[in-house]
Amino acid sequence: MVEAPGEEKKIIRRAPAIQLPISKLQENIGRVALLGTVVSKNPELSSFALDDGKSSILVLANDPQQFELVKEGQTVRVLGKVWGSGNELEIQAEIVQDFSKINRELYNKVFG
């Protein structure tokens, strides 16, 4: 794209992901970062259940390659958008990161 002389380039910024435990999710929260263990996978929906030790939530993976890399029992961090309402919340994953080597105790002290 070529800019016309004197035209300003607009930068679109994404809202930051808020680090939260699954139990504190609400429908009015935009982007979140969740840490948990993959407890089950559903290849038909490209989804998996994420459990943080206190609550669990369904995560929908947009990227089939990303879904294939996720394994049951793996610790991951999911960055994504909260969808749904009431007790029917789910996460539309934007990024799924392998956090298998993270020190969960230290992580929980820092991010509570």
Query: pLDDT tens digits for 26-79?
Result: 888 889 999 999 999 999 999 999 999 899 999 999 888 889 999 999 999 999
Position 35 in a domain: yes
Alpha carbon distance 78, 98 (integer Å): 9
Position 3 in a domain: no
Asked if the model's pLDDT at residue 9 lies above 60, the reply is: yes
| pLDDT value, residue 10 | 77
The residue type of 24 is K
Position 44 in a domain: yes
In total, the chain counts a number of residues equal to 112
Tokens 């879904």 found at: 67
* Residue 22 CB neighbour total at 10 angstroms: 20
Which residue segment(s) compose the domain that 43 sits in? 18-101
The CATH number of whichever domain residue 43 belongs to comes to 2.40.50.200
Position 69 in a domain: yes
In DSSP notation, 37-70 reads EEEEEETTTTEEEEE-SS-EEEEEES-HHHHHH-
CB 10 within 8 A of CB 3: no
Position 1 in a domain: no
Position 112 in a domain: no
Position 4 in a domain: no
Does this model's pTM top 0.85? My answer is no
Number of separate domains in the chain: 1
Position 5 in a domain: no
Bridge partner list, 91:
59, 82
